[in-house]
């Protein structure tokens, strides 16, 4: 089959990008990428959730104050902030596949390294370095999976991607509770992170590079082979299509970060403002709950094992939230679902703080938050990844993720060190609620909905 690559031959058929986005969904084609990418996302959640396990364990083991323990999660999240912008930009320069494999390897190795030290300073450094790998996993993963997914399925597929997160977060809680409860060693949950390092081999063998990325980089022969392979595996009817080469791949340098940041804002200040404030508001609340819920429960008198299992349940029930989000995302549109779910989830944390002395109500509030926040987050990820064009998708998502990680890293220091002592737990969460509502107002005023939009 002949394929025209001339920009003047557009009458020969649709573009290669349009072919990829109009293919039927098949598990042996796009589904394979969804599964491998999802496993990477699952281990990402697992590793982040370990912070909530490690904070009370190491506080007891090493005699840490709350302010010292806060640096365990904060260092990891600041590392994620650095990693998100680094790897988003790297993925836009060297490709989605290579970047994804490196992020998995880096966060696995430095998490395991943390198990080899008994010094808080070294441990915090290793959590920071692991965070650099972790921070890249989400933007790279979403760019890769989104660019292989047909347009009519993309909202549900990208929303379903977040289903891997509560699975990983719940496994972190349940497996850690079992390992620590059985052998009493805080190092064992960290050593389990050898598993995502092994996933790198599956990425190398079974995940192709994004054809949309290859076309933008001028690598049309490689893109053609991948598109033709997708057509065959999905059983679609072969047809003529046009590949319009983009610019040749530019070298990756330190200045690339600044260049991509300028391009992200030049694409549209309204879009980037919305991406940043929504990520900052929603994800700061989520990470405070994810990493400090065991501490809050233990502080309220819960046994350590019960606090771990309750927190794991909060993460696990999120899988139901993701399924609800997947069902609703195309029906309600991205913005409406976000505008309802994000403030509701935050309001449940305010309610939780008011009923800490009533165990039955605590369980309802914790599980309710876990359910509804996982309706909001998948839609947020899908929405922001769709706001940017192909050449900025990794960078745009990455910079928004970076802002959220900085907020989520600094947020607990302020929350634990200042807001909670000054206002109480309910008052501190009320401040978070005001921030989320303000972010939603900005979103509704400045950015369009992206439901059913074709990626360019």
How is the chain split into domains, by residue range? 10-446
Whether residue 284 contacts residue 42, with contact meaning beta carbons closer than 8 Å, is answered with no
Spell out the per-residue pLDDT of the chain, length 456, in tens.
444 444 444 455 788 888 998 999 999 999 999 998 888 889 888 988 999 999 999 998 999 988 889 899 899 988 888 887 788 778 877 888 888 889 999 999 999 999 999 999 999 999 999 999 988 887 788 788 888 999 888 777 877 887 898 899 999 989 998 998 888 889 999 998 888 888 888 887 888 999 988 988 888 999 999 999 999 999 999 988 998 877 645 555 666 667 778 888 988 899 999 999 999 999 999 989 988 999 899 988 888 888 889 999 999 999 999 899 988 888 888 899 999 999 999 999 999 999 998 888 999 999 999 999 999 998 998 888 888 887 787 778 878 877 887 888 888 888 988 899 899 999 999 999 999 999 999 999 998 887 656 555
Helix ranges, 235-302 (H):
255-267, 269-299
Please list the residues that pair with 84 across neighbouring strands.
none
Q: Could you tell me the two tokens for 115? A: 């198990």
Report the pLDDT value the prediction gives residue 409, as an integer from 0 to 100.
82
pTM: 0.79
Alpha-carbon distances, residue 13 vs 6, 18, 242 (angstroms): 12, 10, 6
Q: Which residues contact 255 (CB under 8 A, 6 or more apart)?
A: none
Report the pLDDT value the prediction gives residue 232, as an integer from 0 to 100.
94
C-beta neighbour count of 234 within 10 angstroms: 15
Q: Could you tell me which of 403, 406, 446, 155 has the C-alpha nearest to residue 274?
A: 446
Report the pLDDT value the prediction gives residue 393, as an integer from 0 to 100.
78
Q: CA Rg, the chain, in Å?
A: 22
Assign a CATH topology to domain 10-446.
Growth Hormone; Chain: A; (1.20.1250)
């Amino acid at each position: 089959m002949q394929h025209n690559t001339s920009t003047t031959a557009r009458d020969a058929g649709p573009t290669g990008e349009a072919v990829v986005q109009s293919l039927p969904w098949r598990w042996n084609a796009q589904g394979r990428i969804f599964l491998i990418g999802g496993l990477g996302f699952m281990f990402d959640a697992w590793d982040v959730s370990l912070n909530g396990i490690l904070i009370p364990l190491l506080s007891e083991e090493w005699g840490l104050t709350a302010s010292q323990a806060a640096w365990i999660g904060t260092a990891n999240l600041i590392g994620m902030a650095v990693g998100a912008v680094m790897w988003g930009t790297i993925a836009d320069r060297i490709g989605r596949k290579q970047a994804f494999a490196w992020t998995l390897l880096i966060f696995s190795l430095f998490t395991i390294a943390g198990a080899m030290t008994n010094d808080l300073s070294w441990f915090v450094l290793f959590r920071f370095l692991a965070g650099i790998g972790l921070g890249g996993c989400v933007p790279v993963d979403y760019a890769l999976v989104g660019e292989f997914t047909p347009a009519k399925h993309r909202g549900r597929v990208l929303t379903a991607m977040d289903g891997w997160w509560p699975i990983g977060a719940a496994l972190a809680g349940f497996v850690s509770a079992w390992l620590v409860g059985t052998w009493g060693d805080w190092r064992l949950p960290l050593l389990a992170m050898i598993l995502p390092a092994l996933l790198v081999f599956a990425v190398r063998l079974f995940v192709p590079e994004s054809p949309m990325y290859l076309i933008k980089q001028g690598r049309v022969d490689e893109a053609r082979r991948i598109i033709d392979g997708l057509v065959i595996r999905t059983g679609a009817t072969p047809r003529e299509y046009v590949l319009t080469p983009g610019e040749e791949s530019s070298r990756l340098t330190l200045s690339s970060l600044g260049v991509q940041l300028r391009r992200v804002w030049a694409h549209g200040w309204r879009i980037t403002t919305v991406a940043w404030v929504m990520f900052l508001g929603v994800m700061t609340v989520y990470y405070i709950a994810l990493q400090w819920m065991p501490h809050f429960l233990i502080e309220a008198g819960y046994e350590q094992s019960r606090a771990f299992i309750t927190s794991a349940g909060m993460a696990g029930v999120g899988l139901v939230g993701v399924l609800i989000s997947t069902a609703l995302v195309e029906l309600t549109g991205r913005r409406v679902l976000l505008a309802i779910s994000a403030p509701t989830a935050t309001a449940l944390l305010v309610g939780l703080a008011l009923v800490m002395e009533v165990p039955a109500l605590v369980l309802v509030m914790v599980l309710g938050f876990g359910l509804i926040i996982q309706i909001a987050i998948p839609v947020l990820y899908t929405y922001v990844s769709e706001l940017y064009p192909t050449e900025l998708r990794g960078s745009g998502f990455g910079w928004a993720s970076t802002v959220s990680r900085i907020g989520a890293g600094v947020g607990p220091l302020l929350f634990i060190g200042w807001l909670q002592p000054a206002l109480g737990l309910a008052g501190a969460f009320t401040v978070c609620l005001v921030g989320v509502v303000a972010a939603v107002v900005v979103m509704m005023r400045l950015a369009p909905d992206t439901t059913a939009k074709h990626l360019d």
